[in-house]
Structure 1
Amino acid sequence: MGTIHPISQVTEEITQIFAVLGYAVAEGPQVEDDWHNFDALNIAPEHPARQEHDTFYMARAEGDNRAPHVLRTHTSPVQIRSMLSKGAPLRVIAPGRVFRADYDQTHSPMFHQVEGLAIDRDITMANLKWTLEEFLKAFFEVPSVDLRFRASHFPFTEPSAEVDVRCSWQCGTLKLGEGDSWLEILGSGMVHPKVLESGGIDPAEWQGFAFGMGIDRLAMLKYGIPDLRAFFESDLRWLRHYGFGALEVPTLAGGCESRLCSGR
């Protein structure tokens, strides 16, 4: 008997929570052109993310001097495509596969991200903070969360912030909203004016926030999965243990409370 993969389950949980908050789901190609993946997102030619040790570049025919296509390194190009096609105001999330040349216990050459984008006339960092708090409370099924914003730098947001959530570890089980530890969980910020311009939106009239987090990482944290590599190894024993039954339809909060408490 087959099971629902944890990535599929968690993606559905995330989608349902943000649907209640008014966000549509946007999708885009996994093979991207250089402009959508880098230039439109204010990523300079000398930025480390463009180097071959991070990015998978597609081959060009001999004599073709155009910039090569890439396996997208994030789902941010979907934000650009959404802005160009739908304009403002806009509220979308972009879940999907992304690719980077990295492989260890917490990194994989192919993994999953979800990014969010909200654009309107009077959006501020306060709206971003509220949105993330509501999402994390619903996703981890806790009554409250305590977030810490640390100044950071991303080419596509200004100001930019890494977001930590207060937590504790009890017998190897993560508990949010309590304790003396902090766990980095996502990156966020206000959309850079140059990115809005690339999306065909006037930054003098509109502004917005964006955030991004790893779906695989959220699944690991919520369901106590220790090794990212196991997600992609097709081990039937692992799938039977961590997989979900076909009738375990995600609710608004998502998941199964008994699994969360037991660390499964």
Structure 2
Amino acid sequence: MASARLAWTWALLAWTWTRAAAQYPVTMVTMIGGAAVSTSLDLVAIVILFTHMPVLGGLSAAQAGFLYGACQLSFTFSDVAVGSADRLGRHIRAGSLDTMLIRPVGPLVQLATEDFSPRKLGRLLPATTVLVWSILRLDLTPLDVLLTAVMVVNGAVLFGALWVLAASVQFVLVNGHEATKAVTWGGVFMAQHPMSLYGRDFMRALTFTIPLAFVNWQPSLYILGHPDPLGLPSFVRFLGPVVTAVLCLAAVLAWRAGLRRYTSTGS
């Protein structure tokens, strides 16, 4: 019940910002198009790579595109939902978090919808196009397509938990906004490429420390029928929801601990 109420409040606040942006339709469409174009630049780099080599990290162009599209979709959904939460440090420095705490809506929901902009949705277009193209090229079964949908949703929730954890760190490191981006924005950059490109120690870190491998890499190994470079047991490919649940619990505990620790700036 509480989760449904929070979701409804988030949707209402997001719609309010969207309706305000729609008062200037040309600007809104231009910004959405700009977001789509800017997101496509990473894709252009991948395309250029595959014009010079048929395989990247042991994956074909369609397989690499599958990883890219799924990762970008997951990250965009999470960024739309809670990406603005990383502004927490700014509110702590300005003392405006105090105002949020006395409002009838939770501070996390307020942060997540702050200055909500539909331009972020523009990033969905290139990601969806690449993912659909890859699925058609790979000739996946209906079960594989269903697992892909589950992977995208699970990845979005996992990234969302990382956003909240990164925001929670700013209760302690008020000026840690840029440092936490290494996990969020840096995370999507690492996860959108085949992890077989990285060294084994780095791959282990992305699996067992910051579990970005469960956004798309581990599930994709099963869907694409690709062997695990680390030689991990096959059941690891299905641990994504478990890892995400643990990460969500850690995010909730970290956020609540941060709120308890917060003593106001006095301004």
Scaled by the length of structure 2, the TM-score of the pair is 0.24
